[in-house]
């Protein structure tokens, strides 16, 4: 028997009550924490700690996650839903073991060694009636059994396949779409690189459009009324001059109106530079020149200058590769997007 996560109904899906309970416990813990499978199996009763807020004096529960993939441990705030799951696990283990949680060792397959005897929460009795921490394979089998017995299938009609890592992606998506800043989500997931967290997110198109429309409406309401007046001649000429200044040697600068150049006109390094295909030979010439200058800097022992030139060289090569991809995609043909011309105040284009 297991309780449906969406309806609360009890359905008969498992061969034993023990299997049903641990499938529920694994899924609920994964989806409320976003932790890795190895981190799940290393949770002990000692990982539950409390912290008193300095401003209000409120005592909040925290879950300590020990390092698994990097050398940084982290603390997760225990939500009421997660607290209920962990409390149920602890109660079950105590009731089955005379009021105490058995101390068992966890075998780390990566380190190939057993850890110390600790009151691990995700432990089960084996056929020999000995308590052992679940293996990663057991966790995956519980997920597979849950999906197999529900009969759920994907859009192609194939049986669904879930891993513990899929719950990390769901946790990250729900957190960020719910308003949590992505850099905070990165800390919760234990990511050192923000790009790793962004790759986890699955923001659907409708949600994206709805959120952006709401943002635009809010921003428009907060803007001063003076911004909606008719521009003066001086303002209009300044606006037109901006587009003239965007023309640079290698192409066009995509810098937004009213913003200064943040890269000190080192255009080849700037992501805002849009290379003109006619300047490809000039870009190749720059790449060759940078290579020669790096060799010269190394010969003289100017390691700092060589490193700076290396950054410019990598950026130039990336620009060349991006230009070639763009030309190949467009097949050198220009598509008319139907954008009307902006006329000046005298009425000429």
- Half-sphere exposure of residue 55, counting CA atoms within 13 Å on the CB side? 0
Sign of the four-CA dihedral 338, 343, 348, 349: negative
pLDDT at 265: 62
What domains lie within the chain, and their CATH numbers?
Answer: 2-154 (1.10.443), 162-226 (no CATH), 248-330 (no CATH)
CA distances from 251 to 13, 238, 245, 256, 338 (A): 63, 21, 11, 16, 22
Mean of pLDDT values over 127-148:
87
pLDDT band at 332 (very low <50, low <70, confident <90, very high): very low
Q: Which of 47-56, 131-140, 190-199, 338-347 has the lowest mean pLDDT?
A: 338-347
Residue 1 is predicted with a pLDDT of 41
Q: How far apart are CA 89 and CA 65, in angstroms?
A: 17
Lowest-pLDDT range of 119-123, 138-142, 184-188: 184-188
Residues composing the chain = 349
Q: Which of 40-49, 197-206, 212-221 has the lowest mean pLDDT?
A: 197-206
Alpha-carbon separation of residue 169 from 6, 42, 107, 163 (angstroms): 19, 20, 26, 10
Q: Distance between CA atoms of 122 and 106, rounded to whole angstroms?
A: 10
For residues 50 and 220, which has the higher predicted lDDT (pLDDT)? 50
Query: What phi-psi label fits residue 8: left (phi over 0), alpha (psi between -120 and 50 degrees) or beta?
Result: left
Q: What is the reported pLDDT for 200?
A: 58
Instruction: Give the per-residue pLDDT at 3.
Output: 45
């Amino acid at each position: 028997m297991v309780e449906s996560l969406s309806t609360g109904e009890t359905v008969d899906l498992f061969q034993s009550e023990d299997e049903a309970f641990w499938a529920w416990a694994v899924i609920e813990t994964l989806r409320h924490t976003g932790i890795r499978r190895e981190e799940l199996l290393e949770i002990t009763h000692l990982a539950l700690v409390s912290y008193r807020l300095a401003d209000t004096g409120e005592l909040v529960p925290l879950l300590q996650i020990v390092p698994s993939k990097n050398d940084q441990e982290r603390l997760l705030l225990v939500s009421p839903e997660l607290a209920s799951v962990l409390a149920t696990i602890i109660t079950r283990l105590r009731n089955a073991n005379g009021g105490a949680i058995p101390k068992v060792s966890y075998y780390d397959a990566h380190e190939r060694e057993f850890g110390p005897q600790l009151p691990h929460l995700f432990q089960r009795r084996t056929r020999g009636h000995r308590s052992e921490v679940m293996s990663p394979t057991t966790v995956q089998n519980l997920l597979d059994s849950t999906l197999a017995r529900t009969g759920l299938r994907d859009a192609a009609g194939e049986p669904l396949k879930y891993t513990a890592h899929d719950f990390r992606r769901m946790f990250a998506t729900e957190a960020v779409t719910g308003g949590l800043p992505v850099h905070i989500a990165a800390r919760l997931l234990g990511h050192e690189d923000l790009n790793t967290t962004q790759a986890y997110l699955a923001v659907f198109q409708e949600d994206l459009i709805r959120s952006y429309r709401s943002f635009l409406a809010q921003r428009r309401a907060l803007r001063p009324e003076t911004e909606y007046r008719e521009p003066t001649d001086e303002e209009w000429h300044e606006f037109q001059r901006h587009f003239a200044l965007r023309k640079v040697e290698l192409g066009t600068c995509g810098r937004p109106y009213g913003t200064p150049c943040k890269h000190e006109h080192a255009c080849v390094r700037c992501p805002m530079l849009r290379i003109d295909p006619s300047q490809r030979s000039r870009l190749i010439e720059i790449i060759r020149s940078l290579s020669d200058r790096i060799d010269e800097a190394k010969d003289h022992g100017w390691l700092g200058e060589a490193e700076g030139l290396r950054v410019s060289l990598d950026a130039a090569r990336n620009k060349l590769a991006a230009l070639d991809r763009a030309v190949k995609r467009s097949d050198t043909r220009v598509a008319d997007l139907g954008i009307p011309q902006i006329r000046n105040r005298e009425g000429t284009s």
